[in-house]
Amino acid sequence: MPSALPDGEPAPPDGSLPAGVLEGAAERAFGVYLHVPFCRVRCGYCDFNTYTATELQGARQEDFAAQAVAEVRFARGVLDRAGLPSRPASTVFFGGGTPTLLPTADLARMLDAVRDAFSLADGAEVTTEANPDSVDREALLRLADAGVTRISLGMQSAVPRVLAVLDRTHDPARIPLVVGWAREAGLAVSLDLIHGAPGETLDDWLESLRAALGLEPDHVSAYALIVEEGTRLAARIRRGELPAPDDDLQAEMYEAADELLGAAGYAWYEVSNWARTPADRSRHNLAYWTGEDWWGVGPGAHSHVGGVRWWNVKHPGAYARRIADGASPAQARERLDAAARVQEELLLRTRIADGYPIERLGDAGRRAVAGLIADGLVDGAEAIRGRLVPTLRGRLLADLVVRTLAD
């Protein structure tokens, strides 16, 4: 089942934001995330806020686009009342769930609402996630016509038995077809992979990497499988039906990914993400890692504006009722104080290739840098230039790097 939302202070029914969000707003980019919470089948490892047809409890998938449009308009009003400057959306991201389970016309309608409420910046990045079996050639052409510029395709693995363990339903042979159709439509292509599934070998993982690279995507995400409590996968491992992921093997798989991707011309820019060129990086995800502003639309979606973070009610039925009442769908929120924002910036920016400015570290953190360089966790040349950038080993031990700098 989907993971629980965090605790927080009650969110105002009208969505109003405190005056502090205005500070530095003109220098921050603005993006929109649209969470489409529907899946045909729930994958055994997934704890995202998603729902199959039998879990909707009165909510209707066909009503969702209108609800999302209403929240986009609500967002515009909240930001205007807060006195925030008008900023075009520089990125839009349809996530889920499986956004492409909705008719293309519904996704186009939601994007039009963002365009009408905020406008889109010149060269805006507009991404949709998709499963290989949820799109065809015509759908991709229609998405491109609607303004989508990029597709993030859930490949996960090229090995059928690994896909079966993950409860993925697509045929690996379909991936090249979908990539070809996306190219025909003029879309940039990102392939999402998962490594460390129970029973997956290093050879399995290398097969998936080579299959992905053979398609020459613009971008590759490669995530280590995390077994989340409450998922079907966690239950199967607990019952002894499947082995637990092996941390050492996952590290070996990560090193293999970095080596193969690097040799093929892809540069890492975040611990789990590689791009062919800087222009191929996911600008939307970079906005999360660098503390920009975004509004999250949909059930369970998270938003952030100027140090205020909030999250919507989880269930599509509860979300629909809030929208119908003209109230904020936010369940709760938190306001980050200066110390929390510094800590979060350190946590996130030490995961990206652009690094963290050493001058922003406290005295103890600056003293710790030399030890991290000596331990091979931080790039010494970059440190001389004033940036704290993890090495390959530092990426594998990212949590240790942050703890050392924060102590």
**CA 116 to CA 181: how far, in whole Å?**
29
pLDDT surpasses 90 at 407: no
pLDDT surpasses 70 at 299: yes
pLDDT band with cut points at 50, 70 and 90 for residue 4: low
119: left (phi over 0), alpha (psi -120 to 50) or beta: left
Q: State pLDDT tens for residues 140-186.
A: 999 999 999 999 999 999 999 999 999 998 999 999 999 999 999 99
Rg (CA), the chain: 21
Give backbone dihedrals phi and psi of 93, rounded to 5 degrees, phi first: -135, 120
Mean pLDDT of the chain: 95
The answer to whether the CB of 205 falls within 8 A of the CB of 256 is: yes
Structure tokens belonging to residue 77:
């009003």
Find the mean pLDDT for residues 106-114.
Answer: 98
pLDDT surpasses 90 at 7: no
Find the mean pLDDT for residues 262-289.
Answer: 97
- Which of 319 and 52 is assigned the larger pLDDT? 319
pLDDT band with cut points at 50, 70 and 90 for residue 339: confident
Q: What percent of the chain has pLDDT over 90?
A: 89
**CA 314 to CA 300: how far, in whole Å?**
4
Structural domain 9-289, CATH architecture:
Alpha-Beta Barrel (3.20)
Domain definitions of the chain by residue range: 9-289, 337-407
Give backbone dihedrals phi and psi of 143, rounded to 5 degrees, phi first: -65, -45
Structure tokens belonging to residue 261:
């991707």
End-to-end CA distance of the chain: 36
List the one residue out of 403, 312, 382 whose CA is nearest residue 71: 312
Q: Cα–Cα distances in Å, from 316 out to 40, 55, 104, 322, 337?
A: 15, 10, 20, 10, 31
pLDDT band with cut points at 50, 70 and 90 for residue 3: low
For residue 48, what pLDDT is reported?
Answer: 87
Give backbone dihedrals phi and psi of 44, rounded to 5 degrees, phi first: -65, -25
pLDDT surpasses 60 at 1: no
pLDDT band with cut points at 50, 70 and 90 for residue 341: confident
Find the mean pLDDT for residues 109-125.
Answer: 98
For residue 5, what pLDDT is reported?
Answer: 67
For residue 126, what pLDDT is reported?
Answer: 98
- Which of 357 and 6 is assigned the larger pLDDT? 357
**253 CB-near residues (< 8 Å, 6+ apart):** 195, 196, 202, 205, 224
Q: Whole-model pTM?
A: 0.95
